[in-house]
Structure formats: C-alpha cells, structure tokens
C-alpha cells in the first residue's frame, strides 16, 4: 500500500452480485481479481493496474446494503480526520474502526451528501 497521505489511493465497489460485477470490470478494462475475503464474505482485490493507478476491490454486500462505489483517501489519523470532517459540516456514516489486519477506516458524508471513506494502513 502506498504511503501517500491525503491522496485517493483505494476504491471499493459494493455489490450483491460480485461475480457479475467482477466479470463486467474484467471484460471492460481487463482487470484481474484475487479473492482475499472470508468464507462468509467475498472481497476481491483488483490486481495492480498500470503505474499511477489506484488499487481497489469488489465487496460482496450479501444484499444487506445498497450497491455502491466509494473512493478512500489515505490519511495520517482517521479519528482526527473524522473530527475535522464533522467540524467542516460532514457527517459520520461508519465510525472509525480497525479490521483484523490493523487497517483503520471510517465512512463519511460531505455536506452535499456524497459518501467517501478515509483510512490509515496497518503499521509496518
């Protein structure tokens, strides 16, 4: 994962039809995916694209949430970014949390209602 701070470095497509969605992006752009999820939830990470491309994945929502596409900004401190977003008029959709690998993330909504995410990668 890149060490860029405050840059868009990840995208995620959430879908209740991950197989079909993966085939679509493979057919359209030639993207290849590798499964990195759990037996319960598919998470297909796109293989690295051309130099300068951001990385991303397709997440199986299992039909528990609407389909979506979101970009993530890599930040130095997720909790601080969440506080600053709220002070600037944004709202928290998913509070800051960490996954089992140590990646910390949150989902926010800007004042116009646009959904985006912020994250800090696990410590090296």
Taking only the tens place, the pLDDT of each residue in 3-33 is 667 888 899 999 999 999 999 998 888 889 9
Q: In the chain, where are the structural domains located?
A: 7-120
| pTM strictly above 0.75 | yes
- Which alpha helices (DSSP H) does the chain contain, by range? 18-29, 78-87
Of the two residues 55 and 124, the one the predictor is more confident about is 55
> For residues 13 and 57, is the Cβ–Cβ distance under 8 A?
yes
| pLDDT confidence of residue 120 | 95
| Token digits of residue 12 | 């995620």
Taking only the tens place, the pLDDT of each residue in 62-72 is 988 889 899 99
17 closest CA partner among 71, 67, 70: 67
C-alpha 97/C-alpha 73 separation (Å) is 15
> For residues 38 and 74, is the Cβ–Cβ distance under 8 A?
no
CATH number for the segment(s) 7-120: 3.10.180.10
| pLDDT confidence of residue 85 | 95
Taking only the tens place, the pLDDT of each residue in 75-112 is 999 999 999 999 999 999 999 999 988 999 999 999 88
| pLDDT confidence of residue 3 | 62
| pLDDT confidence of residue 107 | 95
Of the two residues 33 and 50, the one the predictor is more confident about is 33
């Amino acid at each position: 994962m890149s060490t860029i701070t405050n840059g868009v470095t990840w995208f995620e497509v959430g879908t209740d039809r991950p197989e079909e969605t993966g085939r679509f992006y493979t057919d359209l752009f030639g993207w290849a995916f590798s499964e990195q999820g759990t037996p319960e939830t598919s998470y297909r990470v796109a293989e690295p694209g051309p130099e300068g491309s951001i990385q991303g994945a397709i997440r199986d929502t299992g039909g528990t949430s609407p389909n979506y596409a979101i970009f993530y900004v890599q930040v130095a401190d997720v909790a601080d970014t969440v506080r600053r977003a709220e002070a600037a008029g944004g709202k928290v959709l998913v509070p800051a949390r960490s996954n089992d690998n140590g990646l910390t993330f949150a989902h926010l909504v800007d004042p116009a209602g646009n959904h985006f995410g912020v994250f800090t990668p696990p410590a090296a």
